Amino acid sequence: MFNHIPNSALAWNLRAQTITRWPLMRSMVEENVAEHCYATAQIAFQLAVIAKVKFNKSVNPERVATLAVFHEVSESAGVSDVPSPVKYANPEVTKAIKELERQVEESLLASEEDNEIREYLKPFYLQSYANDYEKCLCKTADNIAAFLKAHDELSMSNHEFTKAINNLQKKLDQSAKEPEIQYFMEKYLPQCKLTLDELTQEEQER
């Protein structure tokens, strides 16, 4: 349906580096989907480790991290980064875009010719295979990565991201009801907002 030639899923995924995020926003430093997925995977893994180690939750951090790596496969395979004002304009539009993303994920997976490899990849390519808790961690990581990008832009006096960071802060405040997310927000998020000099200052003062 989407003309994904045989065994091309990996090639499409690698094109994530060609897709610019925040396409309607003026950015001081452009971010691509590959960079965003890397940040999201790092954060999702940390959240899952905290949940498992500190709060004894039944979760596989390695799986959560991999889900985060693949969470935008539909974008690199043809959907691209749909701006939030468009994607969430109304329930009908949101539903239609979600359905398009699902179909692209399935088409991308179907391009894999080897049945055994395709079956192994399925739980990672298709978002419907993630359970609610895994989706929660990945979505929170997604929001944290976006929040940090908005923070970086604001630190460079780019007020284009003011509304975005306020909306993301509200989402993170709601997510922080989960103890592992609250733990991350208190123990790790502040350091992620520091400059390079601030991250190394303590070492220099010794």
Chain length of the chain: 206
What CA dihedral angle connects 26, 28, 34 and 35, to 10 degrees? -140
pLDDT digits (tens, 9 = 90+) for 17-72: 999 999 999 999 999 999 999 999 999 999 999 999 999 999 999 999 999 999 99
pLDDT digits (tens, 9 = 90+) for 141-200: 999 999 999 999 999 999 999 999 999 999 999 999 999 999 999 999 999 999 999 999
pLDDT at 198: 94
Residues 6+ apart with CB under 8 A from 32: 16, 17, 18, 19, 20, 21
Burial code of 140-167, b = ≥16 C-beta within 10 A, e = fewer? bbbbbbbbbbbbbbbeeebeebeebbee
DSSP run (H or E) holding 108: helix 91-110
16 C-beta neighbours (distance < 10 Å), count: 22
pLDDT class of 84 with cuts at 50, 70, 90: confident
pLDDT at 87 over 90: no
Residues 96 and 87: beta-carbon distance below 8 Å: no
pLDDT at 202 over 70: no
pLDDT at 133: 98
Helix (H, G, I), strand (E, B) or coil at 36: helix
pLDDT at 112 over 60: yes
Q: Supply 156's token pair.
A: 């460079």
User: Domain residue spans in the chain?
Assistant: 9-196
pLDDT at 12: 95
pLDDT at 78: 79
Match domain 9-196 to its CATH number in 3.40.50.150, 2.60.40.1080, 3.40.120.10, 1.10.3210.10: 1.10.3210.10
